[in-house]
């Protein structure tokens, strides 16, 4: 089987290759595609070296699947070309997420929305993926009325330029290129994505729009504040959840602990709570600090952490492909 990875030289693209190898695709024909400046370079994969090709050459090879992590502009241009060749595209950018004709998928929640005729499938934003998976059993059992979210997002969500900025600042050097308008070392700022006219950022808007689409419930009230922090290991989120029906904490704990892909790590007496250092290089979503909101009924607080490059991007995309392969 031919599988193309578009944007293979980036942080997420390289992680996609790692996850493919880990999940048993080491012997498949893997096509690695990237921008013109990377053509001809080699990437190590499963004990062999893969030569980077152009996206156009990858299209001509007509792979069964093409997994994109190359930005919205590239996806809008090339994903339909792959689809025209009969390739199923799984896209990690924002290009198709709001398109009502394109499924937006977290496989543990809504893989069933993908039809056999779908050729472009959207991978949600990293901060959305971990939250909706952590909440999915509560949504099914009680229904969700409102979410108030504050994120603490790793610099890796911005890409390698942000990592290099932080590393230079940690060494006391001036970064060769600034990914952010301010230093990130020993700092944080409430700015992720671009500011919209209403004062919210595009990263905050993604949490709103994507959550409603994945849960197929446009009535959920959602507000969010996105914060970028000098962390490499993953994204963290403080989530306040107002449910439609009354709950018990005992049942909530059981539901979350039984959710595939989720680890309940919640023992304050032992200082056990999720942290990026625990989630780094892992695929699970970690949930802790569960407690009732004492200020209003049917509401609870939780803390959600996941590696944004793995489950928040690469792993989720590969899992979608694996589920589709099972249908063949």
Active site residue 272: no
How far is 17 from 155, CA to CA, in rounded Å?
21
Distances (CA, A) of 137 to 141, 215, 251: 6, 11, 11
The two tokens of residue 252 are: 């909530």
How far is 63 from 51, CA to CA, in rounded Å?
16
Distances (CA, A) of 210 to 50, 80, 123, 207: 35, 22, 10, 6
Pick the catalytic residue from 185, 191, 235, 280. 235
Q: Determine which helix (DSSP H) or strand (DSSP E) holds 31, and give its type and residue range.
A: strand 29-33
Active site residue 126: yes
Burial class, 292, CB count within 10 angstroms (exposed 0-12 / middle 13-18 / buried 19+): middle
What burial letters (b/e) apply to 171-185, b meaning 16+ CB within 10 Å? eeeebeebbbeebbe
Q: Which residues contact 56 (CB under 8 A, 6 or more apart)?
A: none
Nearest to 88 by CA among 56, 62, 50: 62
What burial letters (b/e) apply to 9-35, b meaning 16+ CB within 10 Å? bbbbbbbbbbbbbeeebeebebbbbbb
Nearest to 10 by CA among 160, 176, 232, 235: 160
**Backbone φ and ψ of 211, nearest 5°:** -60, -45
Pick the catalytic residue from 126, 185, 272, 281. 126
Q: Which residues belong to the active site?
A: 126, 235
């Amino acid at each position: 089987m031919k599988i193309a990875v578009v944007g293979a030289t980036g942080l997420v693209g390289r992680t996609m290759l790692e996850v493919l190898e880990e999940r048993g695709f080491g012997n498949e024909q893997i096509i690695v595609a990237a921008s013109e400046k990377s053509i001809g370079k080699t990437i190590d994969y499963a004990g062999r070296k893969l030569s980077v090709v152009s996206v156009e050459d990858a299209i001509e090879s007509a792979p069964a699947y093409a997994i994109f992590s190359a930005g919205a502009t590239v996806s809008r241009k090339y994903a339909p070309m792959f689809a025209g060749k009969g390739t199923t595209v799984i896209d990690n950018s924002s290009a198709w997420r709001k398109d009502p004709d394109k499924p937006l998928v977290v496989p543990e929640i809504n893989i069933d929305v993908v039809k056999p005729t779908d050729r472009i499938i959207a991978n949600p934003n990293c901060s959305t993926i971990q939250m909706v998976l952590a909440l999915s059993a509560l949504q099914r059992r009680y229904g969700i009325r409102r979410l108030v979210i504050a994120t603490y997002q790793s610099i890796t969500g911005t890409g390698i330029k942000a990592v290099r900025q932080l590393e230079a600042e940690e060494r006391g050097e001036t970064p060769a290129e600034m990914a952010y308008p301010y230093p990130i070392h020993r700092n944080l700022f409430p700015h992720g994505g671009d500011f919209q006219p209403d004062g919210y950022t595009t990263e905050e808007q993604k949490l709103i729009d994507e959550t409603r689409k994945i849960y197929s419930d446009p009535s959920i009230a959602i507000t969010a504040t996105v914060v970028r922090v000098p962390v490499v290991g993953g994204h963290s989120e403080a989530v306040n959840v107002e449910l439609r029906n009354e709950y018990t904490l005992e049942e909530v704990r059981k539901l979350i602990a039984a959710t595939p892909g989720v680890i309940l790590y919640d023992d304050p007496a032992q200082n056990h709570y999720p942290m990026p250092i625990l989630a780094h290089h892992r695929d699970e979503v970690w949930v802790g600090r569960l407690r009732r909101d004492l200020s209003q009924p049917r509401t609870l607080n939780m803390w959600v952490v996941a590696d944004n490059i793995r489950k928040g991007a690469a792993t989720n995309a590969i899992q979608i492909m694996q589920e589709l392969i099972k249908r063949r």
